[in-house]
Structure 1
Amino acid sequence: MKLLLYSAFLSLTVTLALCGIKGLQEHFEQLGVQSLNPRGLHNNGTLSVANLSPEFHQENTVTNDLSTEGEEEEDYLDLETLFREDYDDVDIIDPDITSEFKQGNILKLFQGKTRIQRLNILNANFAFNLYRSLKDKANSSENILLAPVGISTAMAMISLGLKGQTQEEVLDSLGFTEFVNASSKYDITTIHNLFQKLTHRLFRRNFGYTLRSVNDLYIQKQFPVLSEFKNNMKRHYFAEVQLADFSDPTFISKANQRILKLTKGLIKEALVNVPPTTIMMVLNCLYFKGTWENKFPVEMTRKHTFRLNEKETVKVSMMQTKANFLATVDHELDCGVLQLPYVGNISMLIVLPYKPSSMRTLEKQLTPQLVEKWQESMTNRTREIMLPKFKLEKSYDLIEYLKKLGVNELFTQNGNYSGISEERINIEKFNHQGTITVNEEGTEAASVTTVAFMPLSAQIRFIIDRPFIFLIYEHRTNCLLFMGRVVNPNKL
């Protein structure tokens, strides 16, 4: 009985709050920079930050939904002070990867990639597996929304304090064991060092968009946490220990206010019904705000029929635009793939099955290898695009879905958390909450693909009037930020 009560008291809550996209109003209306191409890049692919005024950055890349007094400038300044080097140049290609790959082995994608890109290939592979785990338990009419990099980051943070089989299961599910085995120069510390660099890369506002990833670590007062764990959390994930009293409603209120502020008002009441017995909380907050390279004129938005399935249709607000876009057709999977770029180096991939039955096949086959094949086969044409406006709000407890991916011991009383504390603890919750809004002004994600422009006369229509999958990538790091399935644009 004493052990049972002790275990109930020392419970670990992992809360992952993520924020998706928010459309921009009157964004980049007066760019007026002649030296930049439509993606805000020079011809050599580098961004000209020097040519953009401070007023431009303040007006166009910092949201004004909530007051940022005492928070925004400090957060960005601290990171820039920590990172004096250009990590784009520091990343080198490791030539020691084995040349003998199994058929379909994801490590084949590592060739020619930087180390951060390799990490994100594995993060995307984990995301697609988790998506399938969610999809298998969801109704076919349900929308889905995930922020993969936030989930991977939270799990990597926790793995710092895991030992034995508990750690092995987490690392295996994330693909990190494969990563370490890919080169004699890699070890687990390599993974955490790369997450450190990735956090820096995902903390931008002078690239034509606002993107931030913030990690927090709350610990109940008097709970003994090992110094090594605390130091590593701060070093690799910028998560400095903050003492908390989870039984105090004031703490919950303040924590929710911080999340509300970090997500510019999009994530409300992230922490609800937090057990007073909680002794530690890991929080990852991801926020993105960007604008389309080619906006959808508001006056062109019309009501249009959207096919939910073979029998049902609904009327949705359909946006329209006409410009040059990259796209391809996958005849084997019976789908079209469209890339919608945002200002900066981010884009959204729309994957549109031609028949409702093709969605199930596509979801089973979705892999990083497939996405790379699509991107390599894309051509640039003038296209007329029709895309529904939509907003998704989703919240999941990921424990059952992670168990399907082989993460079992982590969620039992046999979990080995000896790298966190000498006390016995277990994870009670692993919450994931996100929201995304897509409208005429923008959303998130970007793509920097160099393809020669085709004649304007080669016009093709791409009408997204049936269920589709979306993937939002930051292309410098090959990072999958958000992904989801839109079955009904009229539902959250």
Structure 2
Amino acid sequence: MKSASYLCLLLLGLQVQGQQQVQQIPVAEDQSQADRENLPYVKLAPSNADFAFKLYKQIRDDTGDGNIFFSPLSISTAFAMLTLGARSNTLRELQQVLAFNLTQMEEQEVHEGFQRILQMLNDPHREEQLNMGNALFVDSQVELLQNFLDRATNFYYAEPVSSNFQNIPQARKEINMYVETKTHGKIVDLVKSLDSGTMMVLINYIFFKGFWERPFNSLNTRDDDFFLDAKNSVKVKMMHQNKNYNVHRDEKLSCWVVEIPYKGNVTSLFVLPDQGTMKQVEDALLKETVSNWLRAFEERKIYLDLPKFSVSGSYDVKSLFKKMGVTELFSDQADLSGVAKNLLLKVSKAIHKAAVDVRENGTEAAAVTMLELVPMSLPFPPPPHITFNRPFLMMVIDKTTDGLLFLGKIVNPTAKED
């Protein structure tokens, strides 16, 4: 079998402070609440959550004790679009790693689900800034199959861009300019190199800028210790808040969960494991666990301490996926025959980069770490003091789609960005 030409996947997730233009995608009216559970995007949500936590655990196993931050939805959307052109075992491996439950929903419904998610995320009437999109950089010599192109543009709003991959430096420059523009300068010079046989580059990006429903007062921010472990600490800018939040103490997993909502329909969960219980909480990260937390929330006044931080993560998704059972896609056995005419394609690179910026007025991530609780036996117990001064988890959830936009672990808020 002759060697395949290369397809490169670039997957971006951003929660940043900055302006972003929103695609004008029309949003259709939802059906009645009674029919909601049969809507494709609702049926897709559990699969996307399963994939997110499965990928998180693979990243954790690969990266050890470092910070983690990525967009599960960016990665699943890009690979779901690729399944439009995948066939045979290549398709089955992708569907399995993405946790698509094809016994409960048809393949067509999967793509309709992502279509609706893109529509809802890009709704120009949203209060927060949220934007997600896809692009296909295609060599001028490549003729995409009309069925693939039609479905990619219809379901995933993919933007085809004609490129000349015979001139690698120029193609790389064009792609980097596109990425820099879509991320408003937050990600620059992403593509360092392209394989000489590259014929296509698929890009997915997601951008979110949210403002806290109840901002922190910057006058209360002060230097404080963040404990990396039992012996080491770093100085951070610690924000303080004394207000009502949805809070849950999970005694079984020994952690606190605090919901910090943004204006609009996006919220964040900060999960603060007790000392020495991070791995226990991580191992229990499942959609059922998060659902239980959401159902168990009680609104109560707390003293909340949360560090300001900016972190980013870069991941070799090809390596991660191979460890999760996807092998054909990256080999000469890849069957992407539904993508282009008379062209054997395989994926040579799949990289993901995400960044988060958390500050007083807003953010794009949340987390949890430690807390102090006063005895409940007091007649009028003071509010619990929950201090994120050690490693914590964070999630950013879109409430309209139940989509997990971002997922991360902050081990060191002062770590240099990748």
With over 3 angstroms needed to count, the CA separation of the structure-2 counterparts of 1:114 and 1:425, relative to structure 1, is: closer
Cα-to-partner distance string for 1:238-287 (whole Å, 9 max, x where unaligned): 11322111324333323222222221221112222122421011110100
The answer on whether the counterparts of 1:397 and 1:432 sit within 8 Å (CA) in structure 2 is yes
Name the CA shift for 1:383/1:91 in 2 (closer, same or farther; >3 Å). same
Pairing 1:477–2:401 present: yes
Deviation at 1:115, TM superposition (A): 3.6
Q: Which residue of structure 1 lines up, in the alignment, with residue 31 of structure 2?
A: 89
- From 61, 64, 80, the equivalent of 1:136 is 61
| TM-score, with length taken from structure 1 | 0.78
- Give the equivalent residue in structure 1 for 2:95: 171
| CA shift digits 1:344-372 (9 cap, x unpaired) | 111110111111x2111111110000000
Matching of residue 181 in structure 1 with residue 108 in structure 2: no
Matches within 5 A, 1:10-89: 10-22=5-17, 63-64=18-19, 72=21, 76-77=23-24, 79-80=25-26, 83=27, 85-86=28-29, 88-89=30-31
The amino acid of 1:286's aligned partner reads I
The counterpart of 1:486, out of the listed 402, 406, 410, is 410
2:158 partner SS: coil
Q: Post-superposition, which runs of at least 4 consecutive aligned residues in structure 1 deviate over 6 A? A: none
How much identity, in percent, do the aligned residues show? 30
Tell me the C-alpha RMSD between the 2 structures.
Answer: 2.0
Q: How far is the alpha carbon of 1:218 from its aligned partner?
A: 1.2
Cα offsets for 1:367-414 (capped at 9, x unmatched): 000000001001001111100111112111111211222212111111
- 1:240 correspondence with 2:159: yes
Deviates more, 1:381-390 or 1:254-263: 254-263
1:283-309 Cα shifts (integer Å, max 9, x gaps): 101000110011111111111111111
Q: Does 1:149 align with 2:73?
A: yes
Residue type of the alignment partner of 2:46: I
**SS at 1:290 equivalent:** strand
Matched residue, 1:285: 205
SS at match of 1:125: helix
Distance 1:248 1:90, change over 3 A: farther
Distance 2:411 2:187 in 1: 23
CA distance in 2, matches of 1:426, 1:206: 39
Alignment partner, residue 196 of structure 1: 115
Aligned residue type for 2:223: K
The one of 389, 395, 399 aligned to 2:314: 395
Please tell me whether the aligned partners of residues 172 and 193 of structure 2 are also in contact (alpha carbons under 8 angstroms): no
Q: Does 1:299 align with 2:219?
A: yes
CA distance in 2 between counterparts of 1:296 and 1:383 reads 14
**Distance in 2 (alpha carbons) for counterparts of 1:118 and 1:372:** 15
Distance 1:198 1:19 in 2: 17
Whether the 8 Å CA contact 1:116–1:194 is kept in 2: the answer is yes
- In structure 1, what is the equivalent of residue 242 of structure 2? 322
* Counterpart code for 1:367: L
- Residue type matched to 1:324 in 2? N
Unmatched 5+ stretches in structure 1: 23-62, 95-111, 447-455
Gaps of 5+ in 2: 367-379
Partners of 1:326 and 1:380 within 8 A in 2:
yes
- Whether the aligned pair in 2 keeps the contact of 1:381 and 1:460 (CA below 8 Å) is no
**1:461-492 alpha-carbon deviations (Å, 9 max, x no partner):** 21111100101001111110001000011113
Deviation (angstroms), 1:445: 6.7
Asked whether the 8 Å contact 1:290–1:445 carries over to 2, the reply is no
Q: Which SS does the other structure have where 1:435 is aligned?
A: strand
Q: Secondary structure at the match of 1:272?
A: coil
Deviation of residue 91 (structure 1)?
7.7
Deviation at 1:92, TM superposition (A): 6.0
Residue 160 of structure 1 aligns to a residue in which SS?
A: coil
Q: 1:117 and 1:428, CA in 2 relative to 1: closer, same or farther beyond 3 A?
A: same
Aligned pair 1:230/2:129, yes or no? no
Provide the C-alpha distance between the structure 2 equivalents of 1:445 and 1:139, rounded to a whole number of angstroms. 21
Aligned partner of 1:128: which letter? F
Residue 360 of structure 2 corresponds to which residue in structure 1?
A: 440
Q: Is 1:332 matched up with 2:332? A: no
Equivalent residue for 1:366? 285
More strand by share: 2
What amino acid sits opposite 1:323 in the alignment?
A: K
Partners of 1:378 and 1:459 in 2: CA distance? 15
Q: 1:457 deviation in Å?
A: 8.1
Which residue in 1 is equivalent to 2:52? 127
- Checking the alignment, whether the CA contact within 8 Å between 1:382 and 1:457 is kept in structure 2 is no
Specify the SS of the correspondent of 1:207.
coil
Question: Paired residue for 1:463?
Answer: 387
The amino acid across from 2:215 in the alignment is: K
- Is the CA contact 2:40–2:110 (under 8 Å) kept in the aligned structure 1? no
- Which residues in structure 2 correspond to 1:355-434 (within 5 Å)? 355=275, 357-421=276-340, 422-434=342-354
